[in-house]
Amino acid sequence: MSFKNIIGQAIAVRSLKNLIAQDQVRGSYLFLGPDGVGKRTTSIEFAKVINCERGTEDPCNTCVSCVKVNSANHPDVFTIYPEGASYSIKIEKIRDIIYQASLKPYEAGKRVFIINDTEEMTEEAQNALLKLLEEPPRNHILILTASNTAGLLPTVLSRCKVLKFYSLGQDQIQEFLQGGDIEEEEAILFSHMALGSLGRAIDFKEKGIIALREQVVNDFFFRKSALFREKVLTEHIDGEIAESLYMLLCWYRDLLVSKFTDAQRNLLNIDKASEIASYAGRFSKEKLEKDLLNIMKTIAYLRRNMNPKIALFNMAVQLKRA
Ligand SMILES: [Zn+2]
């Protein structure tokens, strides 16, 4: 990897390159933008290039420092993620960072702390981090990544230089996918379904998520009368329920979209364009809006640990209702 391989984030990459060129790399940064658009990759490339022994504009990927970062073995590059059942970054993790920052870098370069998904950091942890964010010791850089600022304290935000990352274009994702070993037809479908997130498109490719679409659309859209059978509910609970509901959401979203436009490029389920156009005609706009809302509510209930069988059953009843 190098900066050259980061797609669609020219503004952020240019800002970072300028900072490096002007020897202005210091303090704390927040990489802000949707999931799966390159924030983590960019943070690693940045850590690599500011420690690269060649000192070129792009990391060389061959010096000892670059090789260590690439294999996640660099003693001065720390990567932190939310963890545990609560999927959060707790104060203990931040205390570790503060302790590490009190030591001199092990190697000659800059010490980089990459704290991912900081919107999941507890308030206590954020408060503990403030002093370090405000004024990291010499040669210490903090990079926070977040998909939104809702969970971040204003005092955290105000201490970081914010670099914005943006959703990618469908064509950019398609082009990237086709650079790998993937059929054109799949690249087109995945790039539409990914809603601007390359990470999401790669998940489609690697995890076979599209197969879930066939099942969930069949069970909850076509065969609604079968819903009250135990088997259908149980199958979805055993399967990947969050992904399934996301697929169902995309399906209903497309039905609604196709009531407003004939342009196929606006669809996510691009491979089912003619089916979607014909089914959309059978439902009113109001009904489709209500259905979308129901699916979104179900997703929210399940996140809050509502019993999945009850949540799916209720959703099915609502979808069936005229
Ligand atoms: Zn290097």
Cα 30 to ligand 1 centre (Å): 24
Cα 92 to ligand 1 centre (Å): 32
Q: Is residue 169 situated within a structural domain? A: no
Q: What is the pLDDT of residue 4?
A: 81
Q: How confident is the model at residue 3 (pLDDT cuts 50, 70, 90)?
A: confident
Q: What is the pLDDT of residue 228?
A: 64
159 and 13 in a common domain: yes
Out of 75-79, 109-113, 201-205, 232-236, pick the least confident.
Answer: 232-236
Domain total in the chain: 2
Residue 85 structure tokens: 């059942």
The residue type at 62: T
CA distances from 236 to 215, 247, 293 (A): 9, 12, 20
Q: What are phi and psi of 114, to 5 degrees?
A: -105, 115
Q: List the CATH number of the domain containing 19.
A: 3.40.50.300
CA distances from 190 to 39, 44, 272 (A): 20, 26, 13
Cα 2 to ligand 1 centre (Å): 10
249 and 160 in a common domain: no
- Of residues 234 and 275, the one with the higher pLDDT is 275
Cα 54 to ligand 1 centre (Å): 6
Q: List the CATH number of the domain containing 215.
A: 1.20.272.10
Q: What is the pLDDT of residue 104?
A: 87
Cα 67 to ligand 1 centre (Å): 7
Please tell me the total number of residues recorded for the chain in this structure.
Answer: 322
pLDDT at 231 > cutoff 80: no
Are the C-beta atoms of residues 111 and 105 closer than 8 Å to each other? Answer: yes
Cα–Cα nearest to 189, from 211, 162, 218:
211
Cα 71 to ligand 1 centre (Å): 13
Cα 46 to ligand 1 centre (Å): 11
What average pLDDT score do residues 275-296 get? Answer: 95
The residue type at 146: A
Cα four-point dihedral sign 39, 42, 48, 51: negative
Cα 50 to ligand 1 centre (Å): 9
14 and 154 in a common domain: yes
Cα 7 to ligand 1 centre (Å): 21
Distance from C-alpha of 233 to C-alpha of 211, rounded to nearest angstrom: 17
Cα–Cα nearest to 294, from 267, 269, 270, 320:
320
